[in-house]
């Protein structure tokens, strides 16, 4: 017994005399929401070699660790680095070099912006994005006559906010050899009185896209850097880009390796036959900052342009069901092939018909497999019979601001009964256990705080409607934060390396100016990011001057 006593005393003395461990950074006096159920709240943490090595209270951290770089958060709120589970990062960057048509309230305002842009830039092919006829007094697709008058010799191609409709002038139509006799499956070339209107929906857009000059590599690099700057200012440290080419993915990889791009990315490969062959041959590609392990597939178009595939006709367009942009046999064959590979299949599905095809095909080809986490991107309108077959082998990747943007007109498209199965995020969560949240920017705004507000309040930035849109499908603040961090990481098979402030994970975190979990609900959209860190490195700080 005496020997055991002396051993205990020696051990206690040894431990008490140990010097604090030197690390790279300490964060103390913070209000930390870890999103880790084992330690939900903390006041400090230590970072070494780009990872969290201790999480706890400030006194414990100061007692056991030392660092030359210590951040006194002074009570500010810290959350894990935010993850956008569905966006178009490269597209956002490229949009900085095009006409910005978001928020336009009329077709005339669209034209004014194009004229102003061209007077300044004088480009050989005018492109832009962001118009939405549902925001105009006359809620009809525009036609090309005014574009033809303003730009008779310069091709113009401007994309609707959702990316599923394109307005072009006659010059662009001529260059693409599109006439009234042109036929393309999986979409529409709109006509009026037997003449082309200039509007193309879904697959026919590819005819125009084929003649738009490719950006130079210098322009691509600048686009990626511009997008990164915007994302870091909103606390986004990982983004899931929904559809990229191998060339752009390779450029991203090279910029990350040269430390010019510090943001982490889950890159979905666009469903182009050559791209599919390349990656199935070469396999999954994974680094600390880049994850290429999925394919992005389109099942249908968008609800706003009436391209979403519905089981029954649109309530506001008799006999019109929308359209699948991929044949069911082709979709099933691709799903079967990917089921035999390590890749995820992530499919855009808006209408209830498209969601039925996607969910049922997923279940069929994955019936003898587990933990594949195939994603349904948007899952926007779901019929009850599809809710009944959902399971945790499928991940719902949704964008809450779609609900608050579409609520002004979605019931006109869907009718009183179908709208109940639309934007039903709570029900999707209950059926699958997890839900990944994103923005779909630049279709919607980049801000994850708009996402957070739309998810919990079900209101737009005007705080409409007063009681929230279909409030029964609102998420709690805890569920929303998980959807933007841990569950988003899970949807990427990355939950062991990010998504929570947990020992051993990447030290990606965000310091907020306000407490997102306690602040008055209507003030959530205006939360500012004080600082953003990736791997313990400060990549953004709020300019307080």
Asked whether the predicted pLDDT for residue 363 surpasses 70, the reply is yes
pLDDT at position 545: 52
Question: Alpha-carbon torsion 111, 117, 121, 125, what sign?
Answer: negative
Q: Rounded to a whole number, what is the distance in angstroms from the first to the last CA of the chain?
A: 66
* CA 392/CA 490 separation, integer angstroms: 12
Residues 282-300: tens digit of each pLDDT: 999 999 999 999 999 999 9
Give the predicted TM-score (pTM) of the model.
0.87
pLDDT at position 2: 40
pLDDT at position 18: 73
Instruction: Supply the angle between the helices 217-233 and 246-257 in degrees, to the nearest 10.
Output: 70
Q: Could you tell me if 190 and 168 are in contact, meaning their C-beta atoms sit under 8 angstroms apart? A: no
* CA 442/CA 344 separation, integer angstroms: 24
Q: Which residues contact 543 (CB under 8 A, 6 or more apart)?
A: none
Higher pLDDT, 120 or 526: 526
CA torsion 215-217-221-224 (nearest 10°) is 40
Residues 196-248: tens digit of each pLDDT: 999 999 999 999 999 999 999 999 999 999 999 999 999 999 999 999 999 99
* CA 109/CA 132 separation, integer angstroms: 12
Q: Which residues contact 457 (CB under 8 A, 6 or more apart)?
A: 463, 468, 474, 521, 522, 524
Q: How confident is the model at residue 14 (pLDDT cuts 50, 70, 90)?
A: very low
Residues 394-424: tens digit of each pLDDT: 999 999 999 999 999 999 999 999 999 999 9
């Amino acid at each position: 017994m005496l020997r055991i006593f002396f051993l205990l005393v020696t051990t206690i003395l040894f431990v008490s005399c140990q010097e604090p461990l030197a690390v790279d950074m300490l964060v103390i006096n913070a209000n930390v929401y870890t999103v880790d159920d084992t330690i939900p709240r903390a006041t400090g943490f230590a970072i070494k070699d780009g990872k969290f090595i201790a999480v706890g209270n400030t006194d414990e951290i100061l007692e056991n660790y030392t660092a030359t770089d210590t951040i006194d958060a002074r009570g500010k709120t810290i959350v894990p680095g935010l993850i956008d589970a569905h966006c178009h990062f490269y597209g956002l960057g490229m949009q900085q070099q095009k006409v910005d048509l978001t928020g336009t309230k009329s077709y005339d305002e669209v034209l004014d912006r194009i004229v102003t842009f061209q007077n300044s830039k004088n480009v050989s092919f005018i492109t832009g994005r962001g118009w939405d006829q549902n925001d105009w007094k006359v809620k009809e697709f525009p036609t090309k006559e005014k574009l033809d008058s303003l730009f008779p010799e310069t091709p113009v191609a401007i994309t609707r906010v959702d990316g599923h409709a394109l307005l072009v002038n006659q010059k662009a139509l001529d260059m693409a050899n599109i006439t009234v006799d042109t036929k393309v499956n999986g979409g529409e070339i709109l006509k009026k009185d037997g003449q082309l209107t200039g509007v193309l929906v879904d697959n026919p857009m590819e005819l125009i896209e084929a003649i738009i000059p490719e950006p130079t590599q210098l322009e691509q690099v600048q686009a990626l850097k511009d997008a990164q700057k915007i994302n870091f200012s909103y606390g986004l440290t990982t983004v899931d880009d929904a559809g990229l080419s191998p060339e752009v993915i390779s450029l991203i990889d090279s910029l990350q390796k040269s430390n010019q791009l510090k943001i982490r990315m889950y890159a979905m490969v666009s469903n182009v036959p050559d791209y599919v062959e390349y990656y199935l041959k070469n396999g999954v590609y994974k680094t600390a900052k880049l994850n290429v392990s999925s394919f992005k597939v389109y099942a249908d178009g968008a609800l706003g342009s009436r391209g979403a595939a519905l089981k029954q006709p649109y309530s506001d367009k008799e006999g019109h069901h929308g359209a699948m942009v991929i044949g069911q046999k082709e979709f099933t064959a691709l799903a079967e092939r990917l089921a035999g590979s390590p890749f995820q299949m992530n499919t855009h599905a808006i209408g209830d018909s498209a969601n039925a095809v996607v969910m049922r095909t997923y279940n069929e080809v994955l019936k003898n497999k587990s933990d594949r986490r195939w994603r349904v991107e948007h899952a926007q309108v779901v019929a009850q019979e599809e809710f009944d077959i959902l399971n945790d082998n499928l991940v719902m990747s949704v964008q809450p601001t779609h609900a608050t943007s579409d609520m002004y007109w979605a019931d006109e498209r869907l009718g009183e009964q179908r709208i109940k199965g639309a934007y039903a995020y709570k029900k999707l969560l209950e059926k699958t256990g997890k839900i990944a949240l994103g923005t779909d920017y630049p279709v919607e705004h980049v801000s994850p705080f708009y996402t957070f507000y739309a998810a919990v309040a079900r209101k737009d930035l005007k705080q409409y409607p007063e009681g929230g849109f279909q409030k029964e499908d609102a998420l709690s603040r805890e569920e929303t934060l998980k959807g933007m961090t841990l569950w988003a990481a899970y949807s990427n098979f990355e939950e062991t390396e990010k998504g929570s402030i947990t020992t051993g994970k990447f030290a990606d975190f965000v310091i907020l100016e306000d407490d997102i979990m306690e602040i008055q609900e209507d003030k959530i959209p205006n939360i500012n990011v004080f600082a953003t860190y990736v791997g313990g490195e400060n990549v953004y700080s709020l300019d307080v001057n």
